[in-house]
Amino acid sequence: MEGYGVDEAVIALKLKDASNWWHDINESTLWQDRIFHILAALYGLVAAVALVQLIRIQLRVPEYGWTTQKVFHFLNFLVNGVRGLVFVFRRDVQNLHPEIVQHILLDMPSLAFFTTYALLVLFWAEIYYQARAVSTDGLRPSFFTINAVVYTIQIGMWLILWWKYIPVLVVLSKVFFAGVSLFAALGFLLYGGRLFLMLQRFPVESKGRRKKLQEVGYVTTICFLCFLVRCIMMCFNAFDKAADLDVLNHPVLNLIYYLLVEILPSSLVLFILRKLPPKRGITQYHPIR
């Protein structure tokens, strides 16, 4: 029985040390700055990759204008670039008043991130319905309508909070974005899954079938998990102060969250979709419009 008491004391001591480690880093100004600068550098790197890819595509096929592929890379550059700047000046952002300005600067890139990856859902939906000889005329208006509704509701809540700070509305804003993230996750599961199953039914000898199958499968899985984790974390963020991402003294949580829901997914998707359109004169190119 004495041995069990010693073991329990050792475990309790280790848990206390782990708790102290977490607390010390979170409360350290030096570690806060280090972690936020690491996040800024990672976002800057992803933004640079997206910009380089956009330039390479434009140089390869300049005659096609702003296709969905180009818009996707441009939005990736914009979202990651703005997010990187926010983390560079994170301490200044935290001191902005009224407080709603902080929420806007922290949450607007998340809305743009939703729009960026909703483009992939739109593109896959168009491919799926075209392959089944179903009209796609309503898809793009639906895409713009959904985005307009999401932005209107979120901006409306920001304006109310600007006029009068209501704590319940802050919680509601976070819950709303959790719902938007769940909607995006289900969109990837629905259309990514449908396209994956459709490609599986293609003849084995179809050119590019296996590569396209892997591409759709990987991107669907990554984006579904990304938005699902964002949904869960936003729910915790809304109701648990210990999971608040909008404060300076939770840098470790910020590092884990933004790595999982933005930096890592964006990096993997950009890598998977790195293929350039063929050079002119080699083969016909059908742009992602």
Does any domain span residue 145? yes
Q: What is the mean pLDDT of residues 181-198?
A: 93
Into how many domains does the chain fold? 1
Q: Write the DSSP string, 214-241.
A: HHHHHHHHHHHHHHHHHHHHHHHHHH-G
Looking at residue 102, its pLDDT comes to: 85
65: pLDDT strictly greater than 90:
no
pLDDT at 8 over 60: no
pLDDT digits 0-9 by tens, 132-153: 888 888 999 999 999 999 999 9
Q: How confident is the model at residue 154 (pLDDT cuts 50, 70, 90)?
A: very high
Classify residue 17: in a domain, yes or no: no
Instruction: Enter the tokens of residue 132.
Output: 């089944």
Residue 62, pLDDT > 70, answer yes
Whether residue 202 lies inside any domain: the answer is yes
Question: Which pLDDT does position 249 carry in this prediction?
Answer: 81
**Domain containing residue 75:** 34-271
**Of 224, 251, 213, the residue nearest 87 (C-alpha):** 251
Give dist(CA 178, CA 245) in Å, integer. 14
Alpha-helical segments (H) within the chain: 2-27, 29-60, 68-88, 90-94, 99-131, 139-163, 167-187, 193-200, 209-239, 251-258, 264-272
Residue 195, domain member (yes or no):
yes
Kindly indicate the confidence band of residue 235, based on its pLDDT and cuts at 50, 70 and 90: very high
For the ranges 57-66, 190-199, 267-276, the lowest mean pLDDT is seen at 57-66
Give the least confident one: 48-62, 63-77, 164-178, 194-208: 194-208
Residue 21 lies in a domain: no
Q: Please compute, for residue 107, the number of CA atoms within 13 A of its CA located in the half-sphere on the CB side.
A: 24
Instruction: Give the confidence band of 208 by pLDDT, cuts at 50, 70, 90.
Output: low
In a domain, 20, yes or no: no
- The answer to whether 265 and 237 have CB atoms below 8 angstroms apart is no
Q: How far apart are CA 267 and CA 184, in angstroms?
A: 18
pLDDT of 19: 54
Give the CATH number for residue 45: 1.20.1070
Average pLDDT score over residue span 45-53: 96
pLDDT tens column, 91-122: 888 888 888 888 888 889 999 999 999 999 99
Burial, 203: exposed, middle or buried (Cβ in 10 Å; 0-12, 13-18, 19+)? exposed
Could you give the CA distance from residue 250 to residue 52 in angstroms, rounded to a whole number?
33
Q: Is residue 61 part of a domain?
A: yes
**Domain-located, residue 234:** yes
CA 147 to chain centre: 15
Question: Is the pLDDT confidence value at 28 over 90?
Answer: no
Per-residue pLDDT band for 234 (boundaries 50, 70, 90) equals: very high
Which of 20-34, 211-225, 251-265 is least confident? 20-34
pTM equals 0.86
- Average pLDDT along the chain: 85
